[in-house]
Amino acid sequence: MDNKTNSQMLKGILSGSILVLLDREELYGYALSERLSDFGFIDIAKGTIYPLLLSLEKKKLIKSTFRESDAGPKRKYYSLTDAGKKQKNEFVLQWMKLKNNVDHLIREDSKNENT
């Protein structure tokens, strides 16, 4: 796979992952980035998250509100819209199907290598 393909795949996975996290709780950009890091997305540039958030907001999958912060200026918190919840559910179903298919393929490949 070339870098463009990897980049597009990663953007799709990150967008779906953002929807999953925002379904759990409202988060502001930096906190969202930290949550992604907690789940192993450690090589994601901070500048990658904000364009994805903007894109999701333009698609009306998330909405934002500004809130006061104890540690400085107001923060922009993101949460799912009803369309975002539907899209999150579709992402999870598609991911589980894809994961199962790839897992099956790898298991079969391992069997063939061991015979």
CB atoms within 10 A of CB 52: 19
Q: What pTM was estimated for this model as a whole? A: 0.87
Contact status, residue 7 vs residue 44, Cβ threshold 8 Å = no
Q: Domain 3-114 maps to which CATH number in 3.40.50.720, 1.10.540.10, 1.10.10.10, 3.70.10.10?
A: 1.10.10.10
Contact status, residue 91 vs residue 20, Cβ threshold 8 Å = yes
Question: Whole-angstrom Cα distance, residue 34 to residue 30?
Answer: 6
Going along the chain, which residue ranges are E strands? 27-28, 62-69, 72-80
All residues at 6 or more sequence positions from 68 whose CB lies less than 8 Å from its CB, including other chains: 74
Per-residue pLDDT of the chain (115 residues; tens, 9 = 90+): 566 657 788 889 999 999 999 999 999 999 999 999 999 998 887 788 999 999 999 999 999 999 998 888 999 999 999 999 999 999 999 999 999 999 999 998 877 776 6
